[in-house]
Chains A and B, each alone.
Chain A
Amino acid sequence: MKFKALTAVAALLAAPLAYAGGPDDDTLVVNEEVEMATKVAAPAHMSDTGIDTIMSGWHFRTDETQSLQMDDFENPSMIFVDQAVDYFETVDGTEGKSCASCHESVEEFAGLSATMPKMIDGKLTTMEDLLNSHRAEAMGAEPWKWSSAEMQALVALIGLQSRGMPMNVAIDGDAAPYWEQGKEMYYTRYGQLELSCANCHEENYGNFIRADHLSQGQINGFPTYRLKQAKLISRHNRFRGCIRDTRGETFAEGSDEFRALELYVASRGNGLSVETPAVRQ
């Protein structure tokens, strides 16, 4: 089952404590019908990273965690996605409208999440931004907090409409300066531990850091359901947690810095299938 079985055995013989590291060689098929592209050639912009194959975080999880994402009846995210179907039709705000007042069906958003974040009216826009701006402008409703249950449930519902489609965020044109900013952040060694995203997710993916099996830190499955926290986790919340773990001062969820980082990290997943909503440990 494990791709690196031979290497792992060799490592075990040499070093009795080594784990069987590396990604596995399993195939992710959801509901026995949608086969996901979970290992694909890295996009051209990653040619200087030393990574030639980009991989879904799914490959670094245990068989038990993996299986939860293979069947929507077992995927705990789906409870929240169901709630989002209700939010979609719930009137909120001064205009007496719901999402459904303007959008016939959530299915019309197929493909949208695969291209987010993107430039809209000169602003780098994430799905959370898009939802809050429609709430404000069309509905006259209060903004939702970035990582609130409602927000992430709806981000997940809209993301689900693109499940199986390849991630394809634009990094050129007026997005280019934001992409550059995000790239610089990715290689910045934050905090007292002086660790960058790249130190863990580019140089050490496949290795264990204590009990954690490091992945490439991809966001094609976000929002993801985290078993440890028993809820949907936003992209920015994950970034915050990773910078906090460097003994660093994080950025705020919804900050311009995290928008730029989100664009850059998303672009490192261009070509992977959208897996939203994924399941993680």
Chain B
Amino acid sequence: MRLTTITAAVTLVAGVAVAETVAPGDVQFTEYGEVTQSLTGQPGDAERGKTVFSSRSKGNCVACHAVAQLADVPFHGEVGPELTWTGEVRSAEELRGIVANAKMMFEGTVMPAFYKTTGFTRPGDGYTGKAAAGDLAPILTAQEIEDVVAFLLTLQEG
């Protein structure tokens, strides 16, 4: 009895350790471009994900994607497909892969990679037009990716 409890506790601790934040360079993509493992081990928060999706300084996803559920957000773009039903047709694993680096699924796509820090041509320091001072941070943090994925999963019709 006691022993089992201790084992369970140890497993829990180990579980947390394994679920440490995955660095941008360590993300594992399947051959279809999905990412099966959570980037943080923490569940995403759809409300925060909605903010990441809509705000210019975060994902600004709405610049390219229209979403019927975001009627209160002005100016939805049309460079990418409408995402009103994406939660019905895409899995969490697919969505995590697409947001982290859409080029792994859609070769040469216009959609930027939001969890990538190397391999850029003339990377800048944000929107200043100046050269990046040092290593770039990914556009979104690991948790913000999880939050956006949680938000995308809520996008279902009806």
Contact = CB atoms under 8 A, between A and B. Distances in A.
Q: Answer yes or no: do A and B interact.
A: yes
Interface of A: 15-19, 21, 188-195, 199, 203-204, 207-211, 214, 240, 243-250
A244 B110 contact: no
A191 B123 contact: yes
B128 A18 contact: no
A17 B79 contact: no
B48 interface: no
B68 A192 contact: no
B121 A195 contact: no
B60 A210 contact: yes
Nearest to B130: A249
B78 A191 contact: no
Interface in B68-107: 68, 71, 74-79, 82, 84
Closest 7 CB pairs of A and B: A244-B129, A17-B66, A211-B75, A210-B63, A249-B131, A193-B112, A249-B122
B120 to A, nearest CB: 6
B19 interface: no
Contact of A194 (B64, B112, B132): B112
B79 A244 contact: no
B149 interface: no
Contacts of A195: 110, 112
Given A191-B124, A210-B63, A17 B82 contact: yes
Interface of B: 56, 60, 62-64, 66-68, 71, 74-79, 82, 84, 110, 112-113, 120-132, 136, 139
Given A16-B68, A249-B131, A190 B122 contact: yes
Given A17-B71, A248-B122, 19 more contacts: A15-B68, A15-B84, A17-B66, A18-B78, A18-B82, A191-B120, A192-B112, A192-B124, A192-B132, A203-B110, A207-B78, A208-B77, A208-B78, A210-B60, A245-B127, A247-B126, A249-B122, A249-B124, A249-B125
A250 B126 CA distance: 12
Contacts of A207: 77-79
Contact of B121 (A15, A188, A209, A210): A188
Nearest to B65: A17
A244 B60 contact: no
Given A17-B68, A18-B66, A192-B136, A244 B76 contact: no
B92 to A, nearest CB: 24
A51 B39 CA distance: 41
B120 A194 contact: yes
Contacts of B122: 190-191, 243, 248-250
Contacts of B71: 17
A210 B62 contact: yes
A15 B78 CA distance: 11
A228 to B, nearest CB: 15
B76 A17 contact: yes
Given A18-B66, A18-B78, A190 B121 contact: yes
A279 to B, nearest CB: 22
B25 to A, nearest CB: 15
Contact of B66 (A15, A211, A214): A15
Contacts of A190: 121-122
Contacts of A245: 127
